[in-house]
Structure 1
Amino acid sequence: MVAQFTDKHVGKRVVDQNGVEVGTVNDIRNGDLHVEVGPDADPETLSELQWDGTVNQQVHHLRDRYVSDITDATVRLNV
């Protein structure tokens, strides 16, 4: 999904394809989503998003290719 992300997306919950929360949209930079990872995020999902590297970050860039749907309250992923 290719979308134009704006400040209206900040604060939305980010959920995996099963509806399990991964985190929250923290910021929009240059039209890209940046997600603050939640404390209960599934390590497998983080690995699929390539957010599990040696650098322990709280906020990660969410690539468009992982977004499957956006509603008023959530950004749903395809992983």
Structure 2
Amino acid sequence: MCAQFTEDDEGKRIVNADGDEVGIVQSVEGGTVHVDPDPGMTDTIKSRLGWGDADEETYRLDEENVESITDDEIQLVRL
């Protein structure tokens, strides 16, 4: 999917392919989504999303990692 992010996506839950919440959309700036990750998210998932720097408060979500966008959530592809 070629995700098209808008400001309407702010506040949506980010869920993995199994439906588990991994974060919340903090902001959308210029079509780029910034995610506040769930504190329980594993380092493996963070690594696969390219979120390696543990000092960040929010992380950029790349379009290629998005399977679908609904009114309530953004679902990630199976990692």
Whole-Å separation in 2 of the counterparts to 1:30 and 1:72: 20
Whole-Å separation in 1 of the counterparts to 2:57 and 2:14: 14
Q: Percent identity?
A: 35
Give SS of 2:64's match.
helix
Moved over 2 A (4+): none
Does residue 64 in structure 1 map to residue 63 in structure 2?
yes
Q: TM-score, normalised by structure 2?
A: 0.89
Deviation string for 1:12-58 (max 9, x for gaps)?
Answer: 000111111110001111111111111111221111101123x5212
Q: TM-score, normalised by structure 1?
A: 0.89
Gap runs ≥5 in structure 1: none
Gap runs ≥5 in structure 2: none
Whole-Å separation in 2 of the counterparts to 1:22 and 1:43: 11
CA contact (8 A) 1:22 1:42 kept: no
